[in-house]
Amino acid sequence: VPNPNPSLLVWRSLHLADTAVCNELNTRLTDQADCSLLEHDLMAWLSATPQRRLRMIDLAMRLRITPGGLTRVVDRLVERGWIRRDTLAQNRREVQVTLTENGLRAINKARQVYANAINDTFTHHLNSQDLEQLRRIASKLLQQLELDQPC
């Protein structure tokens, strides 16, 4: 058994922590807000725009899933009445996804659950110095990684 590289161990811990947090997010969102983590993210992106609306393709890039995958997620949320497909007269090949009033209520609830989960599993275990160091390092990492695939 070879002697593992130390930075490999660091990444492994980080990845385990990330997975644990994600699992907790998914569990709580499912139980308390009737939506998955991905569905939360989708609605969060919509709610962050002035018109609460985005094109399918832009949404897919932000969520980092394929257009085909997004079609299915959107189907589910439309079914639930939380978003709506709009095609504007000016360009009928684009589909705009819009957050409905019910969707707005849903994302607000989900956001609460999400924030609590992050607080309990993440923030609560770190002090302000940890958070600042982590912020700096994560930004640095992300900046390098996203040079390849800008969003």
Partner DNA sequence: GAAGATTGAGTCGTCAATCTTG
Partner DNA sequence: CAAGATTGACGACTCAATCTTC
Q: What residue ranges bind a copy of itself (CB under 8 A)?
A: 1-2, 5-11, 13-22, 47-48, 64, 111, 114-115, 118-119, 121-123, 125-126, 130-131, 133-135, 137-142, 144-146, 149
Pairing of strands 83-86, 53-55: unpaired
Judge whether 48 and 58 are in contact, CB under 8 Å.
no
How many C-alpha atoms does 119 have within 13 Å on its Cβ side? 6
* Window 106-135: contact mask with DNA (x via CB under 7 A): ------------------------------
Q: Cα separations (Å) of 105 from 41, 101, 102, 113?
A: 14, 6, 5, 13
Q: Is 73 in the site for DNA (CB under 7 A)?
A: yes
Q: Which is nearer to DNA, 57 or 134 (CB)?
A: 57
List contacts with DNA (CB under 7 A). Answer: 36, 38, 55-57, 60, 64-76, 85, 91-95
